[in-house]
Structure 1
Amino acid sequence: MATAVIIGGSTAGLAGALALARAGHRVEVLERDPGTPPGRPADAPAQWQRPTVPQSVHSHAFGSLGVNLLREEYPEVYRELVAAGAAEIRLGDRKPPFLDDPSDRPEDAELNMLACRRSLFDLVLRQAVANHPGIVLRTGCTVRGLEFAAEGSPRVTGVRLEDGEQVAADLVIDAAGRRSPVGDWLAAAGLPAGEVRSSSCEITYYTRHYRALTKAPAGPLNRGFGAGGLWDSYTAVLFLGDNDTFSISLGVLPQDKELKGLRTEEAFTAAVAATPLLAPWLAPTVSEPISPVYAMGGLDNSLRTAPAEPVQGLFAVGDSAATTNPAYGRGVSLALAQVRLLVQVLTEHPQVGAEQSAAYAAGAERLLRPWFEDSVQNDAGRAGLWRATAEGVRPLGPPPGVLTFGQVAEAGGTDAVVWRRVARMMMTLATPETVYADGEVRDRVLRALSGGSRPGFPGASRAQLVEAVAKAAANSDS
């Protein structure tokens, strides 16, 4: 079996280490963060500071593809997560209340999720890696370059650390994240790095975490894993978490100056209070805040396409290969799916070389491209709506015959067939074409939307939201 070195010790790197070690490979994980996590997973959200993983403090949705892979291929990790307080969610038990046919179908058994904070998830995964005899986990190690068989050779033989140490390996796994430097290292060596397609998500997120003081939900869980909606100038979503916690994330246009104040606790609270669907969750008898407001921007949808002749022995997983808007909750699922693909390729093509590299490149392209393109399209439509609202103009509608996510999501509130298709797509179990390119779904959506007024979940108008944020800012300054 091969020796593998993994650049990065976040979700993709840690899961990759476990999967490769179980397949018989010798694995070394190089993580640049020198921080020491707490011993108890439940302490991770409060005590584990991770500057190299800024998304760890934001809301996460652990969707069905990833959760099912976790249960099947990492069963001890799944058990530890549940034991540490992660809550199991079955979306089939939380169907929309107005469905025309609420009966169960066999495929609903696949609609599984975990309510869990990201730091707890990663700590349980990291402990499994640290306890595995076939894996060496090194922290405080910054990788500065790749090593090659010879100058200009398209075959990697390891990596070079900041202090000059060379770590030899048959395989190098790039799990360094969305700002991975590996492409730059390849270009500097005169080797093809592949094309990177990138498109701004055009959204800034603000997140705060809370501890629930009651067991019963304070309002309808219209998203199964939580509650929320997307309205004319913002999105607000509540995510159920582990150990009686939940988080709320607000998303707005990065350039929306009137909503910049959401970074403050007063304005954030005022915006949630102005959202009727979520306001009850902030009642003093219902919850208490347990974190400041975290902000995250500069987000892109990106896809790295391998060159015609990929560098041999080098494989990208996780955000190093592709990123999508975090709102869609697909990052962990796609990372685990890439890891599974990598192990399959190494099993079928054990010899490092062009055939092995081409097989992985082709599989990764098939896996990732549909989700990248779907995110780009949906983000463009949503950002266009928000800009039009802010400018006081009528938003452009979709081309004739083209369904939008908003339309299929709305129709899924009453039509059981559409709900199931949308749920499977949102859980990364079925590709977007199974919704948008299906004639039956299109007909059902149009029928569902032609029936007049439909039950909805209220948000704030732009005027109400801007006023709430402005008043909170004025009160905090006085």
Structure 2
Amino acid sequence: MTRTLIIGGSVAGLVAALAFADLGHDVTVLERDANEAPDTVDQAHGDWQRPTVPQLHHSHAFGSLGTNLLRDRLPGVYQALVAAGAREIELGKAMPPTLADKTPHPDDAELRMLGSRRTTFELVLRQEALRKPGVSLRRGETVRGLTVADRGPTRVTGVVTKDGRTIEADLVIDASGRRSQGHEWLREHGLAEPELVAHSADITYYTRYYRALGQRPVGPLNRGFGAGGLWDHYTGVMFLGDNNTFAISFGILPDDTELKQMRSEDVFTAVVRATPLLAPWVAPEASVPISPVHAMAGLDNSLKLYGQDAQPVPGFLPVADAVCTTNPAFGRGVSLAIAHVLGLADLVREHPEPDAEQAALAAGLAGRTFRPWFEDAVRNDAGRARLWRATVAGQQLPPLPPDVLTFGTVAEAAATDEVVWRRLVRTMMSLDNPAGLYEDEEIRLRVKQAVAGSPPPFPAPDRATLVDIVRRAAG
């Protein structure tokens, strides 16, 4: 029986445990966090401290790619999430109210999502993984390095823990996330390591959770899974969650000192109330807050892939955030993690020997899975940050060339053009390659026609107004 070690017990590691156990592997998950998981979703939301998962208490979008894979490949997990209170969202039946033509389309069946807090999603996933025969989880295990075969072909043979113990394995999967030290562990043995390319996402997030007091939406759901907009100096999105909860997140420039005061609950509430699309959700009769304001910074878009002349090391398979991270605003992380892990399991089923061929195939899979989304995130983040910096500085950027599309302009057009809406949603849900959206001539023409001379359907306060509101709320 193949012994598989998985470094990291968050979403990617737990999905890997389920997938590789289905291959007949004996799977051990090494989880750095020593805290025991809570029993209920409400306890998880309030009490579960996961220092190794900095995004645990922030908004999440569980997009169509990942949702469809769970339904098809891990139906027990999907059903357990729904039983735990996750919302099943059909985007084709939740089109923006500003669209005139809501005629169903055959492809709408793919546009599924789950509305859930990350804590609920991860708790259910852990519970299901630990019920799986052949899966064990060891808490409080910190990996500090790898072991490598000292004879025969070079390959990884296990890990070294913080206290100096060696744990042997036939296959080591690195699911330790954005802070993975895998490239350093390879370097210590003089082995080829992937090349890192990174660009700052240039954004800081502030998030607060609420529990709705009624069952019906109190405002327009222009994004199906919630409501939100991207404006000229900030972004704000409401995400529907499980068990009648929702989260509101704002994104600003990391050095926007005026809006950084949103860390205060009073200021955060004032900004929500000043944003017309979101204000109805925090009315006293609509909801009550169930969390403090959480902040998350230091985010980047990163990609770690082997160059053409480098030979990937057999027996060591990085997955998900250990390979690629993108701005969480795009809501792709969990979907891409699930797709990568399940794709890797399929690859290992066809090529079970941890040899050079398997390693090379795995490296190719990583490139195909992540590169398009990494490049899309870098391009869109750069354009968005440039606009925000100009607004904060009181400057006006020159208009973009007519053949250049941005996420913001496409999103604006999607509010009134159903063709653009479907194409944008399929890209946001990671179902279609982003290049196909931005390079499509029909989409360019439709976007140009939709935004020409039309006011934004969901406006927000200008910079001076919002800064004044923040200062007043801060006292």
Give TM class, smaller chain. Answer: over 0.9
Equivalents in 2 of 1:270, 1:152: separation in Å? 65
Q: Which amino acid aligns with 1:441?
A: I
Query: What is the Cα deviation at residue 449 of structure 1?
Result: 2.7
Cα distance 1:190–1:152, how it changes in 2: closer, same or farther (>3 A)?
Answer: farther
Q: Which amino acid aligns with 1:458?
A: P
Equivalents in 1 of 2:275, 2:445: separation in Å? 32
Query: What is the Cα deviation at residue 416 of structure 1?
Result: 1.7
Q: TM-score, normalised by structure 1?
A: 0.96
Q: Is the counterpart of residue 401 in structure 1 residue 403 in structure 2?
A: yes
Q: Deviations over 1:300-354 (max 9, x none)?
A: 0001012420011111111101000000000000000111111111122112111
Q: Is the counterpart of residue 101 in structure 1 residue 101 in structure 2?
A: yes
Partner residue of 1:342? 344
Cα distance 1:218–1:380, how it changes in 2: closer, same or farther (>3 A)?
Answer: same
Structure 1 residue runs without a partner (length 5+): none
Equivalents in 2 of 1:447, 1:40: separation in Å? 50
Equivalents in 2 of 1:339, 1:306: separation in Å? 18
- Aligned residues of 1:208 and 1:291 also touching (Cα < 8 A): yes
Partner residue of 1:421? 423
Query: What is the Cα deviation at residue 285 of structure 1?
Result: 1.0
- Aligned residues of 1:233 and 1:386 also touching (Cα < 8 A): yes
Q: Is the counterpart of residue 464 in structure 1 residue 461 in structure 2?
A: no
- Aligned residues of 1:194 and 1:304 also touching (Cα < 8 A): yes
Query: What is the Cα deviation at residue 399 of structure 1?
Result: 3.8
- Aligned residues of 1:158 and 1:171 also touching (Cα < 8 A): yes
Partner residue of 2:435? 433
Query: What is the Cα deviation at residue 37 of structure 1?
Result: 1.3
Q: Which amino acid aligns with 2:364?
A: A
Query: What is the Cα deviation at residue 100 of structure 1?
Result: 4.5
Q: Give 3-state SS (helix, strand or coil) of 2:14's partner.
A: helix
Cα distance 1:151–1:468, how it changes in 2: closer, same or farther (>3 A)?
Answer: farther
Q: Deviations over 1:3-37 (max 9, x none)?
A: 11000000000000100001111111000101011
Q: Deviations over 1:116-154 (max 9, x none)?
A: 000110010001111112111100101111000028974
Equivalents in 1 of 2:23, 2:455: separation in Å? 52
Q: Deviations over 1:83-123 (max 9, x none)?
A: 11111100000112233531111100000011100011001
Partner residue of 1:57? 57
Q: Give 3-state SS (helix, strand or coil) of 1:122's partner.
A: helix
Partner residue of 2:447? 445
Q: Deviations over 1:434-471 (max 9, x none)?
A: 21111222222222233x32561121211121111111
Query: What is the Cα deviation at residue 80 of structure 1?
Result: 0.8
Q: Give 3-state SS (helix, strand or coil) of 2:313's partner.
A: coil
Moved over 6 A (4+): none
Partner residue of 1:261? 261
Partner residue of 2:30? 30
Query: What is the Cα deviation at residue 417 of structure 1?
Result: 1.5
Partner residue of 2:364? 362
Instruction: Give the % identical residues.
Output: 59
- Aligned residues of 2:97 and 2:221 also touching (Cα < 8 A): no
Query: What is the Cα deviation at residue 404 of structure 1?
Result: 1.1
Q: Which amino acid aligns with 1:188?
A: E
**1:44-443, aligned counterparts within 5 Å?**
44-150=44-150, 154-307=154-307, 308-443=310-445
Structure 2 residue runs without a partner (length 5+): none
- Aligned residues of 2:326 and 2:333 also touching (Cα < 8 A): yes
Mean alpha-carbon deviation: is it higher for 159-168 or for 378-387? 159-168
Q: Give 3-state SS (helix, strand or coil) of 1:304's partner.
A: strand
Q: Give 3-state SS (helix, strand or coil) of 1:398's partner.
A: coil
- Aligned residues of 2:96 and 2:220 also touching (Cα < 8 A): no
Q: Give 3-state SS (helix, strand or coil) of 2:177's partner.
A: coil
How many correspondences in the alignment? 473
Equivalents in 1 of 2:445, 2:265: separation in Å? 45
- Aligned residues of 2:88 and 2:115 also touching (Cα < 8 A): yes
Q: Give 3-state SS (helix, strand or coil) of 1:89's partner.
A: strand
Equivalents in 1 of 2:221, 2:97: separation in Å? 10
Q: Give 3-state SS (helix, strand or coil) of 1:309's partner.
A: coil
Query: What is the Cα deviation at residue 396 of structure 1?
Result: 4.1
Mean alpha-carbon deviation: is it higher for 36-45 or for 346-355? 36-45
Equivalents in 2 of 1:220, 1:99: separation in Å? 12
Equivalents in 1 of 2:211, 2:102: separation in Å? 32
Equivalents in 2 of 1:473, 1:443: separation in Å? 44
- Aligned residues of 1:99 and 1:416 also touching (Cα < 8 A): yes
Q: Which amino acid aligns with 1:463?
A: A
- Aligned residues of 1:254 and 1:297 also touching (Cα < 8 A): yes
Equivalents in 2 of 1:2, 1:173: separation in Å? 13
Indicate the RMSD between aligned Cα atoms, in angstroms.
Answer: 1.4
Q: Give 3-state SS (helix, strand or coil) of 1:27's partner.
A: strand
Equivalents in 1 of 2:198, 2:374: separation in Å? 9
Query: What is the Cα deviation at residue 397 of structure 1?
Result: 3.6
- Aligned residues of 1:187 and 1:193 also touching (Cα < 8 A): yes
- Aligned residues of 1:204 and 1:297 also touching (Cα < 8 A): yes
Equivalents in 2 of 1:462, 1:243: separation in Å? 35
- Aligned residues of 1:152 and 1:189 also touching (Cα < 8 A): no
Q: TM-score, normalised by structure 2?
A: 0.97
Equivalents in 2 of 1:257, 1:48: separation in Å? 30
Equivalents in 1 of 2:133, 2:152: separation in Å? 35
Equivalents in 2 of 1:259, 1:41: separation in Å? 32
Q: Deviations over 1:233-254 (max 9, x none)?
A: 1111111111111110011000
Query: What is the Cα deviation at residue 51 of structure 1?
Result: 1.3
Mean alpha-carbon deviation: is it higher for 378-387 or for 462-471? 462-471
Query: What is the Cα deviation at residue 400 of structure 1?
Result: 4.3
- Aligned residues of 1:6 and 1:28 also touching (Cα < 8 A): yes
